[in-house]
Amino acid sequence: MTARIYKPARTAMQAGTGNTKEWVLNYEPEQPPVVEPLMGWTSSGDMKQEVQLRFDTKEEAIAYCEREGIAYQVFDSKPPGKRPRISYSDNFAAGRRGAWTH
- Write out pLDDT tens, residues 17-42: 777 789 999 999 888 889 999 999 99
Q: How far apart are CA 24 and CA 27, in angstroms?
A: 10
Residue 73 lies in a domain: yes
Instruction: Give the three-class secondary structure for 45.
Output: coil
Instruction: Give the three-class secondary structure for 9.
Output: coil
Predicted local distance difference test score (pLDDT) of residue 73: 95
Residue 97 lies in a domain: no
45: domain CATH number is 3.30.160.190
Would you say 54 and 23 are in contact if contact means Cβ atoms under 8 Å apart? yes
Predicted local distance difference test score (pLDDT) of residue 84: 79
Percentage of the chain lying above the pLDDT 90 cut: 40
Instruction: Give the three-class secondary structure for 54.
Output: strand
Residue 63 lies in a domain: yes
Residue 12 lies in a domain: no
The single-letter code of the amino acid at 63 is A
Residue 45 lies in a domain: yes
Tally the C-alpha atoms within 13 A of residue 97's C-alpha that lie toward its C-beta: 0
Residue 86 lies in a domain: no
Predicted local distance difference test score (pLDDT) of residue 44: 87
Residues 12, 18, 22, CA angle at the centre, nearest 5°? 115
Q: How far apart are CA 83 and CA 9, in angstroms?
A: 17
Predicted local distance difference test score (pLDDT) of residue 79: 73
Counted domains in the chain: 1
Query: 74 lies in which domain range?
Result: 1-7+22-79
